[in-house]
Amino acid sequence: MTLTRRLWPRCLVVLLCSGLTLVAPSSWAATVARSRTSGVQCVSRGREYAPLAKRMAKDLDSRLDDRDSDDGLNLTDSKTNVTCWYHSTRHFIAASVIKVAILAALLRKAQQEHRRLTTTETSAAWLMITQSDNDAANTLWFDVGLPFMQHFLNLAKMRQTKLDFHWGLTLITAHDEMTLLSVISSPNTVLTKTSRIYARYLMAHVTAGQRWGVPAGTPRGVLVHVKNGWLPYPGSAWEINSIGTFTTTSRLYKIVMLTYNNPSMAYGVDTIEGAAQVIHALLNPGKRAAVAPSVPTPAWGIPDEPIAGR
């Protein structure tokens, strides 16, 4: 596995060659807000939300510019049609964030086999997502199998994701994780409505101690679906990742935050939650945050999974 991106400097330019959710369709008459000091970019549809896009880019810059970590971000909002991205095609080690893809691939496999999940699969899926249980993840990883995992990625058009034999070392991008969140939250040909509801149900029941990250700053009345990953690899630098969807009866917005080179788990969580608070506050003006920033616990220094030898 090549990790040359660990040596990349913080870039001031974001490459737009990846397409898909990163670039607005030509019919949008889009407005791009771009900071002078970093690469966060936000797009709004039309003029109504152009000020919001500009403010979002500026405020996210102020949160991310002085961080020592390498960060990747992607955001989409169905209400304002604001999309933001930052290093969204850069690769990060997945850690337990990959468990959402494992679940989605399992659901797709069951669909193709015209069956429901078995009792063993249902139990393992619950433990894998709600408690980030690694034994359960291993069970489903080998149940699904690498060939079908790749088949799922192909169907979902997650072309930037690079599978590793050790699931936690799979390389992911913020762009592809946003695509995955769309697969489990919006109508598509990959997962049925029943499968999508089930995936989000599990993510809505993640244990309290693992609900840090992108939920920070969420106002009351917004349903949170989250999955995180935390792993000190390679060396002692922590990979801290958090992905989530946020829904009301009339709205869906999705946040992906991937970080590397954190001196500690707490540092990475703080980076993600600082950006998440900006997003929730600007997308929900006038609403008070119901989810406070996380308080570090002794468990934060424990890797999310065993560190595989290379």
Q: How confident is the model at residue 308 (pLDDT cuts 50, 70, 90)?
A: low
pTM summary value: 0.88
Q: How confident is the model at residue 303 (pLDDT cuts 50, 70, 90)?
A: confident
Q: Tens of pLDDT along 280-297? A: 999 999 999 999 999 998
DSSP codes of every residue in 93-135: E-GGGHHHHHHHHHHHHHHHTT-PPPHHHHHHHHHHHHS--HH
Q: How confident is the model at residue 19 (pLDDT cuts 50, 70, 90)?
A: very low
The pLDDT value recorded for residue 266 is: 96
Q: Tens of pLDDT along 257-282? A: 999 999 999 999 999 999 999 999 99
Separation between Cα atoms, residue 67 and residue 269, nearest integer Å: 12
Domains of the chain, start order: 4-301 (3.40.710.10)
The pLDDT value recorded for residue 309 is: 54
Q: Is 227 helix (H, G, I), strand (E, B) or coil?
A: strand
